[in-house]
Structure 1
């Protein structure tokens, strides 16, 4: 673990770097608070800090305050090192943002123990942050496909519509549905159906551009949002359709001919006053038309006025 040591006394700084290196840390030793602040602005900055209170340019107390003013979900653990040992000084140091406080002179065993506490706290903090991120992902993503779930992709639809209005740019709303998906489940079992959903997801994502959005709308249906004019959107949806139709999906040595049907419409602000629900209803009707037309095709329901050139 990286350890930032800020100590203006050369002998003390050298000693601290040497002993903490023996304890398994990666010390970065600097001579004042300003240099320490610069280190903290770097990528992958140290999360464990040992700061002397009395330093030129920027003392340890002011450095603590400056660091704590930065908003961070993973803040560093700061140990303040000083000869000041009055209760008021300890309170001032902790109020400034220090997590711990070591009074000089100190025993190496005490320093090692306090560093270990800081290391454990940072590990726990990182684990909690990881758990929080995992819960946030689970709340917004479909467990099987890894795509945005229905609630999350509907929120994205609202944001993309607001963006389209702000920039006066068209937005394509597309619904794609796997053809005869029930037959796959009935003939090969639900695990095979799950594998097909995962492979279809992979192919959809591979056919889209990095800034396009896709979510699992429900069952075997996907909602696709494209910042594109009608001809571009039609080409992208056709690319998705071909990605399925051109190559069978192999499940346990069985080659499954899987196709999808797509229905789409275009939101064209500022003339277009339709809301998200209305646009989804129109896209769903277009999807129904593609099913009625024999499946494995795309039906595009144009807007009730000409799109911007």
Structure 2
């Protein structure tokens, strides 16, 4: 565990560093409050700190106060070192954000015991953060594929729709359906089908940019949300996504399987947002239906026109 010692007295710093190093800590030292605040604010900064109350520039309680005002990063366990005995001063330090205090000169055994208490608190905090992240993942991600689940990917789409409208940029939505997936399950079993879906999810995720979105819409259907992607760019990117899936067989426990997908794609510009996801999803779904009817393993694009009976006019197929 890394620990910071902040004290303007060089002798005190060296003595504290020796005690802590012998106890197995990785010690970092600074001579003033500004240095302490900078070190503790760093993303990979120490998780524990011993702060002298009186330091040049920024004193110990003010370091505590400013550090607690920052919400980002992991929790840091702060101990104030002070020669003050007055209970009012102790209360002031704790209210500033300190977790503990020690009276100088410190007893080395008491110091080690107090720090062990701090370590237990940090371990508990880390477990709580881990549990919270696991709960968040379960609530927003599909258990089989690891992609965003239906609710999360639709929420991502809503956020991107609002952002693209503000920034006057296009947004493309793709609905992908695995071709002949029922046959995979019927012939090879559902476990093999699950293997196919997991690998497809991996390939789809690798085929998009880090800030794009991809989620499992349901069954063997996936939704891709491509931010800032206009219709001309979509033609190239959708072809790349097709190739990412069909470029090589998927290795399964039943042997390699050649899998393809059909894609319905729709692009809207910033003037067309209606505020809900049903409109672009409906257009993409209509295009996906035509892709299935046109032999699968292709992309169909929905444009902004429609025939008199409400069927969308598709753009040329990419195969």
Residue by residue over 1:87-139, the C-alpha shift from the partner in whole angstroms, topping out at 9 and shown as x without a partner, is: 21211111111101111233211000001111121121112112211211221
Counterpart of 1:39 in 2: which secondary structure? helix
CA distance in structure 1 between the partners assigned to 2:66 and 2:91 by the alignment: 17
CA distance in structure 2 between the partners assigned to 1:54 and 1:290 by the alignment: 73
Structural mapping, 1:42-53, within 5 Å: 42-53=42-53
The structural deviation recorded for 1:8 is 2.0
RMSD over aligned Cα, in angstroms? 1.7
Aligned pair count reads: 305
Structure 1 residue 244 and structure 2 residue 239: aligned?
no
Counterpart of 1:278 in 2: which secondary structure? helix
**Distance change >3 Å, CA 11–CA 261, structure 1 → 2:** same
Partner in structure 1 of residue 311 of structure 2: none
Structural mapping, 1:26-175, within 5 Å: 26-72=26-72, 74-175=74-175
**Distance change >3 Å, CA 65–CA 246, structure 1 → 2:** closer
The structural deviation recorded for 1:271 is 4.4
Partner in structure 2 of residue 301 of structure 1: 302
**Distance change >3 Å, CA 50–CA 208, structure 1 → 2:** same
The structural deviation recorded for 1:273 is 4.2
8 Å CA contact retained: 2:43, 2:73: no
8 Å CA contact retained: 1:83, 1:105: yes
The structural deviation recorded for 1:73 is 5.2
8 Å CA contact retained: 1:52, 1:81: yes
CA distance in structure 1 between the partners assigned to 2:86 and 2:19 by the alignment: 27
CA distance in structure 1 between the partners assigned to 2:267 and 2:34 by the alignment: 55
8 Å CA contact retained: 2:4, 2:29: yes
CA distance in structure 1 between the partners assigned to 2:26 and 2:175 by the alignment: 53
CA distance in structure 2 between the partners assigned to 1:168 and 1:222 by the alignment: 26
Provide the TM-score with structure 2 as the length reference: 0.90
Partner in structure 1 of residue 235 of structure 2: 234
8 Å CA contact retained: 1:73, 1:129: no
Partner in structure 2 of residue 194 of structure 1: 194
Partner in structure 1 of residue 15 of structure 2: 15
CA distance in structure 1 between the partners assigned to 2:269 and 2:72 by the alignment: 39
